Structure 1
């Protein structure tokens, strides 16, 4: 099964490695990363949204602290604009250098036609995505520059606040209704992304911001890597009401593999079975329908089920779903077709 994935943090991992070894290992394999080119080929990963996440200055191990039975982690301080811009440009450069060094094994894609062409020639189709828009000024001038460079998807906030809006804290148990929504700059960002055809990712945005985007945007609502709040009551997950709004817009939600967003106890624990992942997919299908469900693994950015382990383990998930009665046509929709369709309905390039 070929897989197009809605979210990974491979670029952050490479950005934080000062030795250059992670860059080489992405191309040639040999590391414990979730994604590299050999693991992608082994697992059928043919492309995805490659996130740029400007990291917070504080570098707490969130996964370790989210292994507790309950938690309410304080949000990092907002990023100052120069660091957000510098780190974003650095990670974009890493992606372009990977493309150059890969000898055709990775292609930066700016349209659905680009993705389809890359997949046809067995090149990993990488779409430039931003998670946390601290690189973009309130007047949105840098958005135009990044779009010209290939940016096609943006989450205006990570969990910390910025001048566009407010994200959800890492909190369990918790509703996603955790504070105020968008700022005036955030509302302008929604409008400009609609004009350009940039996908707006609702993952990490709090509930008030979600409903403002739903009211303002003329594009399908998309959460690239979120799960079902009714099954795992962490603030990051979507309520049934939110999922119904995504369905009404003909949008998509990508299943997040992060174990803390899958489990009923909210804990980051690698001992999480495939049945738990399937329960979220079943619930998503009930509300979103077959055309609204996809994958958003969070590879290289979260603790995922050990049974999958990395991109190489993706076939195990599809084998499990097939044995549970998912048809081949439905598996193809979840694996890649739904992503390409919603990107086609959103992008203008």
Structure 2
């Protein structure tokens, strides 16, 4: 059977390509790799038709937040990056995505609006949205934002969980409230206004609660968390409270289910033997709070410890089959898997 088409809210494959396949990242992605979660052959096997391709500036001192047990408790976060550190890695990953999508014959397309997404998917190309997770490459004057927008950037998370000049991220604490630390800086508020002017998604996934409410007060766009879960089920500081979910619903926004096991499980453990049923429980809850048209997938492929039953992007049918078994209609599954993200992007980037 042909897998149900999936448009995914978040992956970190560009960083893996930069780190592990710097000699020829385009070849590695298109021909396939033996490690990680995502490449083109496995995307096709799992039904992935597109998604947000994140650019995450890595920490100089590597900390594995995806290792079993790494998220539990209160692990310290890395120090703030310098502008040069953020810019160097960000531009390198932009280059990889541009190289992947530059040729008209490429099986991967960089898309800037809904029409380009639909056109790419219709001809079987993998439709990508350029997304930044942590705006360390962008200066306070926002000159680099304009440059990156011209290159194709259409979605941005102002912070990863570490702090930067724009605001303060939410740490990986469990169990904990996301109400940890101050919110956006003056530069962060300017960034939100600029994103509204340009027509960009503002991703709230790694903002702390104070920053979330700063964006909610300032932004004229739908509120979006590309890869977050329900705090009522898993009390990770990275997850969204009912009050936050209500604000997202009121704005006609969107939440993508994060596959990271530490943000799924009630015990907050990063364990591969996590049952698919807990993913369905989160989807049930998110739909109850947000409505059927405001929930999707935000896997965090190549950036998280995901359930072993899924394993990689090729395992996406495991989740859609579980939804069928739960009694979800085919039409609803298709909305959750793909249609809702496309509609959200039309409401934000045009």
TM-score range (shorter-chain normalised) is: over 0.9
| Range that drifts further, 91-100 or 317-326 | 91-100
- 1:17 corresponding residue in structure 2: 20
Contact 1:15-1:90 at 8 Å conserved across structures? yes
Q: Distance in 2 between matches of 1:9 and 1:64?
A: 16
Q: Distance in 1 between matches of 2:7 and 2:145?
A: 25
Aligned-residue Cα RMSD (Å) equals 1.3
- 2:137 corresponding residue in structure 1: 135
Q: Distance in 2 between matches of 1:299 and 1:284?
A: 20
| 1:219 matched to 2:212 | no
Query: Structure 2, unaligned stretches of length 5 or more?
Result: none
Contact 2:70-2:270 at 8 Å conserved across structures? yes
Local SS of the residue matching 1:291: helix
- Note the C-alpha offset of 1:101: 6.6
Contact 1:4-1:47 at 8 Å conserved across structures? yes
Local SS of the residue matching 1:7: strand
| Residues 1-349 of structure 1 aligned to structure 2 (within 5 Å) | 1-17=4-20, 20=23, 23-64=26-67, 66-67=69-70, 70-100=72-102, 103-348=105-350
Contact 1:7-1:51 at 8 Å conserved across structures? yes
Q: Distance in 2 between matches of 1:31 and 1:151?
A: 29
Contact 2:154-2:349 at 8 Å conserved across structures? yes
Does the C-alpha gap of structure 1 residues 345 and 72 become closer, same or farther in structure 2, counting only changes over 3 Å?
same
Local SS of the residue matching 1:294: strand
Local SS of the residue matching 1:55: coil
| Range that drifts further, 99-108 or 280-289 | 99-108
Q: Distance in 2 between matches of 1:301 and 1:22?
A: 17
**TM-score normalised by length of structure 1:** 0.97
Q: Distance in 2 between matches of 1:90 and 1:175?
A: 35
Local SS of the residue matching 1:16: helix
The size of the alignment, in residue pairs, is: 347
Contact 1:48-1:126 at 8 Å conserved across structures? yes
**TM-score normalised by length of structure 2:** 0.97
Local SS of the residue matching 1:297: coil
Local SS of the residue matching 2:184: coil
| Range that drifts further, 79-88 or 92-101 | 92-101
Q: Distance in 2 between matches of 1:237 and 1:277?
A: 14
- Note the C-alpha offset of 1:22: 5.3
Contact 1:27-1:102 at 8 Å conserved across structures? no
Q: Distance in 1 between matches of 2:333 and 2:64?
A: 34
- Note the C-alpha offset of 1:30: 3.9
Q: Distance in 1 between matches of 2:155 and 2:205?
A: 12
- Note the C-alpha offset of 1:24: 2.5
- Note the C-alpha offset of 1:65: 6.2
Q: Distance in 2 between matches of 1:102 and 1:239?
A: 44
Local SS of the residue matching 2:20: coil
- Note the C-alpha offset of 1:96: 1.1
